[in-house]
Amino acid sequence: MATATLTKVGNSMAVLLPKALRQEAAIDQDTPLRLASPRKGVVVITSMLDDEEDRLARLRRVEARIAARRNKIKPWPEGLTADDLIAQAKEERHRDFLAL
């Protein structure tokens, strides 16, 4: 759970949201927010990105990130275990070290 304090901004007050919380909530500086106070002492901040266009735009961004990561991932070699791959990597590092 994150904590924050109010900061005076002109005639208003602001709450600064920590980066980790913003990332967890998937909101950024352009995300419209809905503020509500259901009872005294409680403030609820909700993202308003619930319409179909916003969901579609977010889905496209996520798909693009997945595709970019997929291009960086090498396919798993058939017939090899994780132990085999680790042994190969160690052997390559050893050869590189000896080449120095």
Spell out the per-residue pLDDT of the chain, length 100, in tens.
778 888 999 999 999 989 988 888 888 888 889 899 999 999 998 887 666 777 788 889 999 999 888 888 888 889 999 999 999 999 999 988 888 7
Give the pTM: 0.44
Task: Give the residue from 29, 6, 28, 26 showing the smallest Cα distance to 16.
Answer: 6
Do 41 and 57 reside in the same domain of the chain?
no
Whether residues 7 and 36 share a domain: the answer is: yes
> What are the strands, taking DSSP E only, across the chain?
6-9, 12-15, 33-36, 44-47
Domain span including residue 75: 51-100
Indicate if 43 and 7 belong to the same structural domain. Answer: yes
CA dihedral 80, 82, 85, 87 (to 10 degrees): -120
Structure tokens at 31: 């995300």
Residue 21's domain is classified under what CATH number?
Answer: 2.10.260.10
One domain, residues 42 and 62: no
